[in-house]
């Protein structure tokens, strides 16, 4: 396809940002609702001590799951590139090439972490190592499923992408409630993860059956591994920044305080996850435009406005009626959560803005944004290791790190906007 025609085609797709963002935010909110219903259901069905164990393990698994987004981001980037070049054979080759290797990687990591179970359970003060083995089994498909999602995202098939993500959360909720009700307690809440992965993996395979039947044109994947490496570093850094506080809280706080901190985190992270669909919808559009020399600044500006409205709106609700929210969802089971809801939500708001800039940077091949995030991780780990005697201290550290995280990516934002302004005219 002629470069100019390709540019026009990509610009037309980019103009769908509002519609595609709406789709992804809607499915993202549905997935978020199911995820939080999962946490609420487990909080009600289990004792506070059991819930603290479950939440620390699911947070550990969440870090691994978010790390797997590095594969989704890389696959999205290269799928968008091949799509912009009108090369469906390249997309098919990339998909099959990546799927085989991620399944192997997940299986190896499952075996390694299973072997490290005694060390990890000791750090988390969990006396039953099988509680860790069950969620670790999710790793077998935890890196392969994001490959499927990355191809769907790069091809801008947002309906099956959003539906399958919401389905994963719904299955996890339904299966967990059923299994806990049947008497499996903590095991029931954990077994739901690998089962949901397996079912949704099959669903996404059906959504990509045209690629399976299509050609398998061997294509140049130069830069895939180096890009994936730095992307992994960026996604890993962000995952640690937004989840390590829960794991450290489990280590330092009493079981009762940990239960309250889990409730704070469950609600506060809505501010981070609610606008995440905007970044998901933006990524393949800015990436495609970048590959054909188009401007991307207007997309970032629109995405930033949507993120401010959605994330900021949730944070304001937390400021105005925290007692109503906590009381409606948890009753009086976690009384210490209410005073910290807005402050923790505000921290997640700054992380949401950082997440948008990270995605924009990665879509333009600027993966070095990982470096300042690593510095913030070191700061967060150091501060929590020093100040951890109460929920107040840990929440204050998370808020401080959220602000510093956003400030640290602003130079990348200014640099990328400047580069975008100098791009080829549309």
Q: Is the pLDDT of residue 415 over 50?
A: yes
CA nearest to 61, candidates 174, 118, 137, 172: 137
Residue 273 near residue 341 (C-beta atoms within 8 A):
no
Q: Is the pLDDT of residue 8 over 50?
A: no
Give me the mean pLDDT over the 25-37 stretch: 84
Confidence of residue 372 (pLDDT cuts 50, 70, 90): confident
**Sign (positive/negative) of CA torsion 339, 341, 342, 347?**
positive
Computed over every residue of the chain, the mean pLDDT equals 83
Predicted pLDDT of residue 380? 92
Predicted pLDDT of residue 425? 40
Q: Is the pLDDT of residue 19 over 80?
A: yes
CA nearest to 421, candidates 370, 368, 364, 365: 364
Of 61-70, 148-157, 390-399, which range is least confident? 61-70
Q: Each residue of 374-383: pLDDT tens digit?
A: 889 999 999 9
Of 148-157, 198-207, 227-236, which range is least confident? 227-236
Give me the mean pLDDT over the 10-22 stretch: 68
Q: Which residue has the tokens 């239960």?
A: 259
pTM of the model as a whole: 0.72
Predicted pLDDT of residue 426? 35
Give me the mean pLDDT over the 223-233 stretch: 75
Please state the domain extents for the chain. Answer: 3-421
What interhelical angle do 297-320 and 391-421 show, nearest 10?
160
Of 179-183, 290-294, 394-398, which range is least confident? 290-294
């Amino acid at each position: 396809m002629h470069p100019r025609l390709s540019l026009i085609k990509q610009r037309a797709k980019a103009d769908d940002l509002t519609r595609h963002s709406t789709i992804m935010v809607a499915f993202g909110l549905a997935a978020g609702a199911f995820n939080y219903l999962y946490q609420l259901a487990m909080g009600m069905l289990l004792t506070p001590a059991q819930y603290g164990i479950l939440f620390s393990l699911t947070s550990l698994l969440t870090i691994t799951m978010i790390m797997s987004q590095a594969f989704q981001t890389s696959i999205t980037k290269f799928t968008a590139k091949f799509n912009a070049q009108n090369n469906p054979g390249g997309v098919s080759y990339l998909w099959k090439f990546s799927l085989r290797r991620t399944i192997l990687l997940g299986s190896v990591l499952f075996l390694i972490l299973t072997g490290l179970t005694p060390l990890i359970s000791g750090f988390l003060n969990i006396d039953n190592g099988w509680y860790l083995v069950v969620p670790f089994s999710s790793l077998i498909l935890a890196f392969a499923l994001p490959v499927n999602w990355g191809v769907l995202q790069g091809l801008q098939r947002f309906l099956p992408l959003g539906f399958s993500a919401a389905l994963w959360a719904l299955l996890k909720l339904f299966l967990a409630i059923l299994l806990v009700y049947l008497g499996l307690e903590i095991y029931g809440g954990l077994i739901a993860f690998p089962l949901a992965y397996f079912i949704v993996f099959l669903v996404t395979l059906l959504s990509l059956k045209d690629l399976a039947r299509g050609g398998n044109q061997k294509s140049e994947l130069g830069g895939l591994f180096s890009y994936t490496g730095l992307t992994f570093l960026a996604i890993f850094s962000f995952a640690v920044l937004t989840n390590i506080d829960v794991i450290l809280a489990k280590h330092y706080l009493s079981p009762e305080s940990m239960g309250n901190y889990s409730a704070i985190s469950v609600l506060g992270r809505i501010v981070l996850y609610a606008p995440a669909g905007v970044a998901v919808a933006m990524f393949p559009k800015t990436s495609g435009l970048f590959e054909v020399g188009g401007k991307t600044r207007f997309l970032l500006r629109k995405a930033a406005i949507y993120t401010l409205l959605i994330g900021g709106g949730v944070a304001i609700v937390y400021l105005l009626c925290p007692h109503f929210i906590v009381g409606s969802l948890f009753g009086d089971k976690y009384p210490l959560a209410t005073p910290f809801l807005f402050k923790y939500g505000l921290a997640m708001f700054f992380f949401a803005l950082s997440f948008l800039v990270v995605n924009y940077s990665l879509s333009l091949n600027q993966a070095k944004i990982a470096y300042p995030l690593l510095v913030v991780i070191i700061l967060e780990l150091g501060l929590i290791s020093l100040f951890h005697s109460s929920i107040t201290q840990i929440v204050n550290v998370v808020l401080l790190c959220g602000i510093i995280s956003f400030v640290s990516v602003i130079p990348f934002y200014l640099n990328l906007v400047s580069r975008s302004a100098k791009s080829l005219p549309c």
